Structure 1
Amino acid sequence: MTRLRVQFIPSSYTEDQGFLSLGHREPSSRSHRAVVSSHDRQWHVKVTFKGELLSQLTLTRPFSLPQGSAGKPTNSKGEGLRRRLDLKSLISCIDFGRLTLLQDTVTEIELTIAANKDSQRLEVLPLSMRPELAATSYNEVAHLLRYSIREDSSRVIYPLYVRDSSPVREIWADDIQKKEDISGAVYRVQLSNAAAGQEYIFKAIDRPFYHPTDTAVIQQELRNLKDLFRVPNIVRLAGIVISTNPYQTQKSCKDGLVVLRGLLLEYHPGGTLEEALKIGIPPQTCIIWATQVAAALHQLHRRGITHMDLKPSNIVVDSQGNAVLIDVSGIGGTTYEWKSPEIRQEINPFSLPFRNRKWNDIWAFGQLVAKMATSSGTDSMNEIVRATTKDDPTSRIDLSTVTTMLKKYSQEQQLGGSILHY
């Protein structure tokens, strides 16, 4: 059988860092991802070595230990690099053609040393004894290596994309041109077939330190954005980013499954409210933005959605100077100082009843108004701040009342009331 090619995925080496606090000499787990391919097929794999290699080397041949590896934990830059290169060399010598790799997903190949009867029952790892293996720490135990195979539970999960009657257009991932990495999984982008200068925000499922819940967050945000598609002052969904399954095994398959890769959102160039607060907000603008945010948040609540992370960095300013609410999944995360006091000790605040989550949003809105009022140098909205941040959540006023009060303040200001004098 033709030997399969191995291409390592950059920056995909990981190791368990718990050994440092435990006082061990090395990590108990280390992994590297790669793509294994033939001329017409490819498999995504994650090879994980479980166990402490140096301890086993001590038993088999003590004098073969690398210099400086005995005694205290070895986590110098050089030691970490050596562990990564050794694992890559070992992976390069695996005869993947003799393994049953899983189709259209990520196969995790877990390696262990046959040190007991349980591990001895596992299959012997098929290796080609090549020169690069001889120079590694694995050379002494290569004949003892055993393997097991399963689907990688830590893989990025790309959900199957199902078309519906939504008016939102579909964008193929290949048409995305990244211009700026904003926060690891959020990019300012252009489309290859779009008008020159038109920019968007791309929120990708794949991200650094990915966790399977990240996929659920994107899916929930997609549902919410579809429901809120024409609601003012909430970020507009501009497209759904799709592709064929990145883990597809058959290279030339034209009818592969289509999966969700992320969301394309309207890009607003006016920055965030957090940035505006540092510069200073005119009193009239303060009232306008507070009114817009209150109205947007009220529309979420009318649909049974709560934001749960309302804060200045989650409000952006569009090209006309309007406030726009972003990150509306409702389950993406929370920020401690922007959580109401009664839920700060909750392990999972997203599981709270809707009314409790709504009270949290109202409290956070009150804090937001307080920040804006301080920035604008006005005390005209102190009543709203007090009424929305009461200790007893059941006594906090609702957002429809807030909107009525803000409209009154705006009218007073336009008539030359005290709010204008700052």
Structure 2
Amino acid sequence: MVYKDTFLFFKKAKIVLVTNEQIYVVDRRKKVVKKRNKIDELLGITKSLYTDSKNFILHFSSRADEELFCDYRNELVGILKRRYFEITQGNLKIFGVSTRSLKDFLTSERDQLRRISKIPSNDYRLWEEDIVKEQRRSAGGSIVQQNDEDDLDYYDDFVIIERLDIKKYNEPKKLEEEEKIKDSGESQLLIQKPGSENQSLKLEDFKIKKVIDKGSFGKVFLVVNKKNKKLYAMKRINKDILIDKNQIQNTKNEKDILFQANHPFVLSMDYIFQNQYRLYFFLKYVRGGNLYDHLFANKRFPEATVKFYAAQIAVALGYLHANKIVHRDLKPENVLVDEDGYLYLADFGLSKFLQGPQDQTHSFCGTAEYLAPEILDMKGHGFTVDWWTFGILVYEMSTGRPPFMHKNHHQLGMLIRNSPIVYPDPIKHKIHMSDLLKDLINKLLDRDPHKRLGSKDDINDIINHPFFKDVDFEKLQKKEIIPLYKPPQNLFTIKDEELQVLFEDPELKDITEEDNNDEIPVDKRLLIDQNKNKFEGFDS
């Protein structure tokens, strides 16, 4: 595929030619190849965050960087990162900087001779550009202590991997050069769940206590309803990010799922508000934090706790499947733990509605260590992909690590496709797993989705497995079983002493005050105004 490129700084034309393996930079006038590199020699791509910018830098491992100006910048970057992934099974790092000029990030030939690299740090990494989502455990501050076994093609022994303290969230990028103005858009209640209180609620009826999470599209706040004193997790979503990342339809899907949800183990939502530039999702507040933090604190769970948690998650997935929803991103970070020890399945940003059990989708999405073989091979996938990730999660809860891990994504893909499942030795590793638990995992991690446990009768296949024979699922769904693990206060997003004085807290903020502290740049507001019709479906 050929893209014509005008190199504005040097007043001469170039052609960028991308083949299956190579990138050629051709001098159009002299009709000679000036530079040639293999695609897998790319270290990353840096681009300006200005929406009208056409410049970007190709960072190479073996030579100086190349800055280009191209009308088809986004298309070219998309082709390169896709082909890079096909070759290496890893993400091509895409960096975004808030300046129009990229000269501070361009490694010259002289820099290279002096062994100076100007490639941006991971603080500038655009994680949302990744083809496959990376957890922070395997990117930028790895949670994995790599061992000699990483050099093997396949695991032949179980290795205990300690969970290290990591920085969980990206710091929001600073757009220093962009003019900002105050958010004065009046908010409106778009939709509320049937049976929820206060038909005349306004955004101003809520007060913010604190930030409890940060994600790709905005922040999550703990807020309190001043009228009835009810707590919510308010997910504030910037519309410009949804437009930039083409995530409007996915967010509509998430909205539909959260409003539709009526299940004891599935997170739900009561209200959606919007103003001109933001959406506000008011979700059920789950006080105990996410399952990953509890797994981190405990290293692994006893088998009885694994069974209790696995039963809830399985039932939640079965409920989604019965409503024609495939989750596609099950992992400990997306499971919430309530203060009573019960779970809620959350985060439906990658979820998709399917027509039925035989329907398939071909999107490439998920988290690296949890990807099913059929997603890696892009053969199409359906509901059974959730039972694969369920098997990975059950293994991780039992051992403290996923079954397939590698610092190299190509090797990780090979492990997922071909490696046997290795279990810990009860004497050597002091981790006991019953034969029934291993059998459940083995059948969930069948690489043939048509033979995988859950492929014939979905949730009924799971709950009828002998591992769950002593679980009373009726009592479980009524929450009549006393949990074996009660979350400790230090992992709660708000402690008891804070809760007691919450409503008298003088530091509670108005939502509009917080919005004005996180102003949206002018060019982003213009982008939203130009695409406002795309948000009309959020009120139905």
- TM-score, normalization: structure 1? 0.53
Greater mean alpha carbon deviation, residues 172-181 or residues 295-304: 172-181
Quote the Cα distance in structure 2 between the aligned partners of 1:53 and 1:265: 40
Q: 1:161, CA displacement in angstroms?
A: 7.2
Q: Give the alignment partner of residue 393 of structure 1, picking from 449, 453, 466.
A: 449
SS in 1 for 2:383: helix
Higher relative contact order (CA 8 A, sep 6+): 2
Deviations 1:246-296 (A, max 9, x none): 4xxxxxxxxxxxxx7131111222222222223132322211110000000
1:166 corresponds in structure 2 to 194
- Aligned-partner residue type, residue 369 of structure 2: E
2:211 corresponds in structure 1 to 180
1:336 corresponds in structure 2 to 368
- 1:269 corresponds to 2:270: no
- 1:320 corresponds to 2:375: no
- Aligned-partner residue type, residue 296 of structure 1: A
Quote the Cα distance in structure 1 between the aligned partners of 2:397 and 2:99: 53
Residues 140-159 of structure 1 mapped to structure 2, 5 A cutoff = none
Q: 1:159, CA displacement in angstroms?
A: 12
Quote the Cα distance in structure 2 between the aligned partners of 1:285 and 1:25: 54
Quote the Cα distance in structure 2 between the aligned partners of 1:16 and 1:176: 42
Quote the Cα distance in structure 2 between the aligned partners of 1:159 and 1:370: 45
- 1:287 corresponds to 2:304: no
Deviations 1:210-238 (A, max 9, x none): 4353332222111112222x211011213
- 1:203 corresponds to 2:235: yes
Where structure 1 has 5 or more consecutive residues not aligned to the other structure, the ranges are 1-11, 30-47, 55-69, 78-83, 93-103, 106-157, 247-259, 412-419
Q: 1:383, CA displacement in angstroms?
A: 1.3
SS in 1 for 2:326: coil
Q: 1:345, CA displacement in angstroms?
A: 3.7
Identity of aligned residues (%): 22
Residues 296-375 of structure 1 mapped to structure 2, 5 A cutoff = 296-331=316-351, 334-346=366-378, 352=380, 356-375=381-400
Q: 1:301, CA displacement in angstroms?
A: 0.4
Contact 2:309/2:343 (8 A) holds in 1: yes
Bigger radius of gyration? 1
Deviations 1:124-179 (A, max 9, x none): xxxxxxxxxxxxxxxxxxxxxxxxxxxxxxxxxx9997558733467544435251
Deviations 1:330-363 (A, max 9, x none): 44852122121121143xx9xx4xxx32111111
Cα 1:409/1:17, change in 2 over 3 Å: farther
- Aligned-partner residue type, residue 226 of structure 2: N
Cα 1:163/1:236, change in 2 over 3 Å: closer
Q: 1:17, CA displacement in angstroms?
A: 6.0
1:245 corresponds in structure 2 to 276
Cα 1:261/1:396, change in 2 over 3 Å: same
Quote the Cα distance in structure 2 between the aligned partners of 1:284 and 1:23: 55
SS in 2 for 1:291: helix
- Aligned-partner residue type, residue 294 of structure 2: A
Q: Give the alignment partner of residue 402 of structure 1, picking from 462, 468, 471.
A: 462
Cα 1:359/1:72, change in 2 over 3 Å: same
Where structure 2 has 5 or more consecutive residues not aligned to the other structure, the ranges are 1-48, 72-97, 112-117, 121-174, 353-364, 401-430, 473-483, 485-540
2:529 corresponds in structure 1 to none
Contact 2:187/2:202 (8 A) holds in 1: no
Quote the Cα distance in structure 2 between the aligned partners of 1:72 and 1:207: 42
SS in 2 for 1:287: helix
Count of residue pairs brought into register by the alignment: 272
Quote the Cα distance in structure 2 between the aligned partners of 1:368 and 1:181: 24
Q: 1:72, CA displacement in angstroms?
A: 9.2
Cα 1:16/1:387, change in 2 over 3 Å: same
1:189 corresponds in structure 2 to 222
Cα 1:26/1:195, change in 2 over 3 Å: farther
Cα 1:370/1:163, change in 2 over 3 Å: closer
- Aligned-partner residue type, residue 166 of structure 1: P
Contact 1:224/1:329 (8 A) holds in 2: no
Quote the Cα distance in structure 1 between the aligned partners of 2:284 and 2:294: 20
Tell me which stretches of 4 or more aligned residues in structure 1 moved more than 6 Å: 24-29, 70-73, 158-161
SS in 2 for 1:334: coil
SS in 2 for 1:179: strand
Quote the Cα distance in structure 2 between the aligned partners of 1:53 and 1:212: 22
Quote the Cα distance in structure 2 between the aligned partners of 1:330 and 1:164: 23
- Aligned-partner residue type, residue 378 of structure 1: M
- 1:383 corresponds to 2:439: yes
1:256 corresponds in structure 2 to none
Contact 2:234/2:280 (8 A) holds in 1: yes
- Aligned-partner residue type, residue 248 of structure 2: T
SS in 1 for 2:221: strand
- Aligned-partner residue type, residue 214 of structure 1: Q
State the superposition RMSD in angstroms: 4.5
Quote the Cα distance in structure 2 between the aligned partners of 1:372 and 1:295: 17
Cα 1:49/1:190, change in 2 over 3 Å: closer
Quote the Cα distance in structure 2 between the aligned partners of 1:286 and 1:342: 26
- Aligned-partner residue type, residue 279 of structure 2: R
SS in 2 for 1:368: helix
SS in 1 for 2:464: helix
Quote the Cα distance in structure 2 between the aligned partners of 1:200 and 1:336: 31
Contact 2:391/2:444 (8 A) holds in 1: yes
Cα 1:262/1:217, change in 2 over 3 Å: farther
Contact 2:234/2:283 (8 A) holds in 1: yes
Contact 1:336/1:344 (8 A) holds in 2: no
Residues 79-94 of structure 1 mapped to structure 2, 5 A cutoff = none
SS in 2 for 1:393: coil
Deviations 1:291-340 (A, max 9, x none): 00000000000110000001111111111101210013444852122121
Q: Give the alignment partner of residue 252 of structure 2, picking from 219, 222, 226.
A: 219
Quote the Cα distance in structure 1 between the aligned partners of 2:225 and 2:390: 39
